[in-house]
């Protein structure tokens, strides 16, 4: 994906920024937890930034935060995948620890606010990781769409193909206008655009016909017939047979 999602791509910057910010927050939470010298496996943790924490949760937070920061430094594709995977793990952790509250198996000293944070953080991380990647209605120039269809990156597409894509984008509104006109609910603005497009097309056809006659070496009198768009397709008149004399 490095060819499709270079470092200067907007999606790449988005993924890396999200991973770096969330990773830095987890690092700060873990460091503050260790700074309070809380026991490693206690089920009754201490409050750190409004959340309950013990030594094990602090260590895990530091490790996960470091992974996110390293993924952000690595590149956009790695940051996207890492953020999405950790988001899924956060969400599952919230669901699992919800059933372990007030039990001896509450190894991370979770409280209800930790569960809520884990669920929300998991959804947010999944949104950051999957944004522009698996959502519906992605444009054809999206790097993940081109990768899944085995197409070259947009930056490597030949100029003619880029010109064709731009032309298709220009013709799409005109096609909508044509449909609206055919269905009988075209607005005055749509009707005006269609008339302007028809006039432009007519002028182009006249210029093409005139250039064709000039290149063919026709006489000035014959060039006048360039106003007739069907001149190239008219068959010459056949000579009429002589009339037989009346007896």
pLDDT along the chain (247 residues), means of 10: 74 90 92 82 79 86 93 88 92 90 84 91 91 75 74 63 72 82 82 83 80 64 51 50 57
Three-class HEC string of 185-235: CCCHHHHHHHHHHHHHHHHHHHHHHHHHHHHCCCCHHHHHHHHCCCHHHCC
pLDDT at position 242 is 59
Q: Which single residue is written with the structure tokens 């470091």? A: 66
- Please report the pLDDT score of residue 234 as a whole number: 47
Residue pair 12/5 in contact by the 8 Å Cβ criterion: yes
Task: Decide: 86 and 67 in contact? Cβ < 8 Å.
Answer: yes
**Per-residue pLDDT, 240:** 56
Q: How far apart are CA 109 and CA 101, in angstroms?
A: 8
Q: Which residues contact residue 156 at a Cβ distance below 8 angstroms, ignoring those fewer than 6 apart? A: 3
Q: Which two tokens stand for residue 87?
A: 């988001």
> Which residues 6+ apart lie within 8 Å of 228 measured at CB?
209, 234
pLDDT at 84: 92
Supply the pLDDT for residue 22: 92
């Amino acid at each position: 994906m490095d060819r499709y999602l270079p470092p200067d791509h907007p999606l790449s910057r988005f993924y890396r920024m999200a991973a770096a910010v969330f990773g830095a927050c987890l690092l700060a939470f873990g460091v503050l937890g260790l700074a309070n010298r809380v026991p490693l496996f206690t089920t009754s943790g201490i409050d750190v930034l409004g959340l309950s924490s013990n030594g094990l949760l602090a260590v895990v937070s530091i490790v996960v935060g470091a992974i996110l920061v390293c993924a952000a430094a690595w590149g956009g594709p790695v940051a996207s995948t890492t953020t999405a995977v950790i988001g899924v793990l956060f969400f599952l952790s919230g669901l699992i620890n919800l059933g372990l509250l007030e039990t001896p198996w509450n190894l991370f000293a979770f409280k209800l606010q930790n569960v809520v944070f884990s669920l929300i953080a998991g959804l947010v991380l999944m949104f950051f990781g999957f944004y522009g990647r698996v959502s519906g209605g992605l444009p054809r120039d999206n790097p993940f769409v081109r990768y899944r269809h085995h197409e070259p990156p947009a930056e490597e597409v030949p100029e003619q193909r880029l010109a064709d894509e731009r032309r298709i984008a220009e013709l799409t509104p005109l096609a909508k206008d044509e449909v609206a006109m055919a269905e009988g609910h075209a607005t005055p603005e749509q009707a005006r655009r269609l008339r302007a497009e028809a006039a432009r097309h007519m002028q182009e056809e006249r210029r093409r016909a005139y250039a064709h006659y000039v290149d063919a070496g026709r006489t000035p009198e014959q060039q006048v017939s360039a106003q007739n768009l069907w001149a190239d397709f008219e068959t010459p008149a056949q000579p009429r047979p002589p009339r037989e004399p009346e007896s």
